[in-house]
Structure 1
């Protein structure tokens, strides 16, 4: 069994046949999410950062938005959390070509 599709075989240590390179959109989105954590530190932030780096798709990142909001609001303010999330939402909508409505609909279906 594998934890995630494409992970190396846990018993034989084989790597996937062809290593997959993250798309430039995913890399740019990760950078945007990481930028939203500016000025934050601590164990929870380190865990969130690991989750951002482990994300395999834009949808994975989409689901981390609430965690970012919570951590920023705790450290700074609700206003600052909303501001940073707005930046992420605009980025996803314009640069990653995502429809925020479609992402919201898919998130409510799961």
Structure 2
């Protein structure tokens, strides 16, 4: 059996649920195609009654709330600045880029365990995949085999 086939068989049997949390890759939101279509926005706006008091929170609103909640009990100039930037972020991608600062501030003021816990609440709003997933490994081994067979 060739090494490529052996690797493919082994990877196929490996359960994906065994990937430890530290190996989960949080990916930035896509630049295009993630926004709600205009007709859906207009339709939901027209269906709202004045008694409801506004629209349902969007994914961005929920992400902002979780981001600011993670900073809730911290104080200082840097914390205030990050909270202000998070509250005024115009997209999930902007919030995604602020995650490293969030982690650093929480770890500095509290500890890394708490920073991991709080960042997990923020990360649930972003696309995730296991780092080094089988598809990536298989694609690289297929490319490697193609180069050697040519």
TM-score (norm 2): 0.46
1:72 to 2:100 alignment: no
User: Pairwise CA RMSD of aligned residues?
Assistant: 1.7
Structure 2 gap segments, 5+ residues each: 1-56, 130-150
Picking from 92, 99, 106, the partner of 2:127 is 99
Aligned residues between the structures: 74
Stretches of structure 1 that go unaligned for 5 or more consecutive residues are 1-22, 93-97, 102-110
Runs of 4+ in 1 over 6 A off after TM superposition: none
Q: Distance in 2 between matches of 1:50 and 1:99?
A: 24
1:74-101 deviation per Cα after TM superposition (whole angstroms, max 9, x unaligned): 00001110111111112x1xxxxx4224
The higher radius of gyration belongs to 2
Q: RCO higher in 1 or 2 (8 Å CA, sep ≥ 6)?
A: 2
SS at match of 2:71: coil
Report the Cα distance in structure 2 between the residues aligned to 1:89 and 1:49, rounded to whole angstroms. 16
TM-score normalised by L of structure 1: 0.62
